[in-house]
Amino acid sequence: MLHTKVIDVKERKLSISLAENFISSSDFGASIFFSGTVRNQNNNKSVVGITYDSHDALVIKSFEEIYNETNQKLKIKDKAVFIEHAKGFLNLGEISIIIAVACKHRDEAYVLSRYIIEEIKKRSPIWKKEHYLNNESDWLKGNPIVHEKD
Amino acid sequence: MKVIIELFGASRDFSDQNLLELDVENDSTTKDVRNKILNYLDINFKGNENFIKIVNSSVFCSNDNIISDNYKITNNEKIGIIPPIGGG
């Protein structure tokens, strides 16, 4: 069971309660809620906010691929997964991503949650532009997507 | 023929319109488009080194699929440039 969405923050904020409603089931004995939030420091600079950019279709596709491959790679078949990522400008402390997972047992839930966030970092086309106290802003460098050049 | 390049992430700084429309030769590939973008940056941004690095480390996509450097572009095709990523 999977829910994925890229949320334009002009429309609504990300909400843990929506994630809780989605994964809640008596089939599962362990739930983990991961949220990423905007922090006030990065690389010794005072951050006041972050603008998130996204290729929405490719992001959703990557979320679905990551979810589907956990059947084989992690051998976790019974699960509920809720993934939402924000798009647009976020102030300090606001939520940029929610990954909520529910599994039968805690071992699976911890592994699944960690796997999903690490794969999103590597594979989902999302970009951050940091805004600083001195009114400057900068796109963060990020990691290239691996592709064939020939 | 023409190709329309949708800009994402750091490449949005290449234009204030969020896309580039470039003339390319018939039968051009993604690799040719990459070179055309580098040429555009040379003319419009005096070969800004950061921008060049972004282009050289980007991949491209079409119809929501990542495409290789030898992918053949069609006339008026819209492709996206995907600079190095980092969400979360």
B88 within a domain of the structure (yes/no): no
- The b/e string for B1-15 (b: 16+ C-beta within 10 A; e otherwise) is eebebbbbbbbbebe
Q: What is the pLDDT of residues B40-85, one digit of tens each?
A: 999 999 989 999 999 999 999 999 899 999 999 999 999 999 999 9
Q: In which domain, by residue range, is A32 found?
A: 2-133
- Would the ipTM clear 0.90, i.e. be above it? yes
Q: Is B11 helix (H, G, I), strand (E, B) or coil?
A: helix
Q: Is B56 on the interface with A (CB under 8 A)?
A: no
Domain count, chain A: 1
B25 within a domain of the structure (yes/no): yes
Residues in chain B: 88
Q: Is B68 on the interface with A (CB under 8 A)?
A: yes
How far is it, in rounded angstroms, from Cα A19 to Cα A101?
9
CATH code, domain carrying A51: 3.90.1170.40
A149 within a domain of the structure (yes/no): no
Cβ partners under 8 Å of residue A23, min gap 6: A1, A31, A80, A81, A82, A100, A101, A102
Q: Is B71 helix (H, G, I), strand (E, B) or coil?
A: coil
CATH code, domain carrying B20: 3.10.20.30
Listed by number, the residues of chain B in 16-35 with a beta carbon closer than 8 Å to a beta carbon of chain A are: none
Q: Is B83 on the interface with A (CB under 8 A)?
A: yes
Residue B81: closest C-alpha in chain A: A55
Q: What is the pTM of this model?
A: 0.94
B75 within a domain of the structure (yes/no): yes
Residues in chain A: 150
Residue B67: closest C-alpha in chain A: A147
Q: What is the pLDDT of residues A69-118, one digit of tens each?
A: 999 999 999 999 999 999 999 999 999 999 999 999 999 999 999 999 99
Using a CB-CB distance cutoff of 8 angstroms, which residues of chain A are in contact with residue B83?
A: 127, 139, 142
How far is it, in rounded angstroms, from Cα A17 to Cα A1?
17
Residue A148: closest C-alpha in chain B: B68
Calculate the alpha carbon distances from B32 to A43, B37, B75, B76, B80 in Å.
Answer: 36, 9, 14, 15, 14
The tokens 């996509």 sit on which residue?
Answer: B61
